[in-house]
């Protein structure tokens, strides 16, 4: 059985045993279930991929929060300056991610980050059009997205 399904079942079992189906109780059950699955992985046969993906998902979330903080400060600083320094531009980013969910996740993470907005994905799903508030260096933005969000998303969803 899939590690994620087992983890969710353990979380609901915890909530049922405590008779509390609140978010806090389900989260506690998920953490306890994860630890139980990790400890018993040699017995249950759950492969390391589930635990690697979980660890990489946490890293992706933390990376997004860091980028959110940095870009919020950068945009706020530009807004309060007497003379704004932004140079908006539309930039085409070649995509390495292939799956629909991976592209959706990438576009949402870009759009949720202040100063950038995903505008369109090409018909062949090989190019993403992004509006950047600070688009004066297109190559730097492309490099940041490809070596940041896209690389981490590929790490989470690798087989």
Mean pLDDT (the chain, rounded)? 91
Would you say residue 44 has pLDDT above 80?
no
Q: What is the pTM of this model?
A: 0.82
- The per-residue pLDDT for range 86-140, each reduced to its tens digit, is 899 999 999 999 899 999 999 999 999 999 999 999 999 999 999 999 988 999 9
* CA atoms of 38 and 149, how far apart (whole Å): 27
* Residue 106: per-residue pLDDT: 96
- The per-residue pLDDT for range 8-18, each reduced to its tens digit, is 898 999 999 99
* Residue 51: per-residue pLDDT: 84
């Amino acid at each position: 059985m899939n590690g994620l399904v087992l983890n969710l079942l353990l979380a609901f079992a915890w909530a049922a045993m405590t008779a509390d189906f609140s978010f806090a109780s389900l989260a506690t059950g998920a953490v306890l279930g994860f630890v139980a699955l990790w400890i018993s992985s040699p017995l249950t046969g759950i492969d390391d991929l589930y635990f690697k993906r979980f660890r990489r998902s946490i890293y992706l979330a933390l990376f997004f929060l860091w980028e959110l903080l940095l870009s919020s400060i950068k945009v706020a600083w530009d807004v309060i300056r007497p003379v704004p320094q932004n140079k908006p531009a539309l930039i085409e980013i070649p995509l390495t991610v292939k799956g629909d969910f991976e592209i959706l996740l990438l576009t949402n993470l870009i759009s949720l980050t202040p100063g950038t907005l995903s505008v369109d994905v090409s018909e062949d799903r090989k190019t993403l059009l992004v509006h950047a508030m600070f688009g004066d260096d297109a190559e730097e933005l492309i490099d940041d997205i490809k070596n940041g969000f896209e690389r981490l998303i590929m790490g989470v969803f690798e087989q």
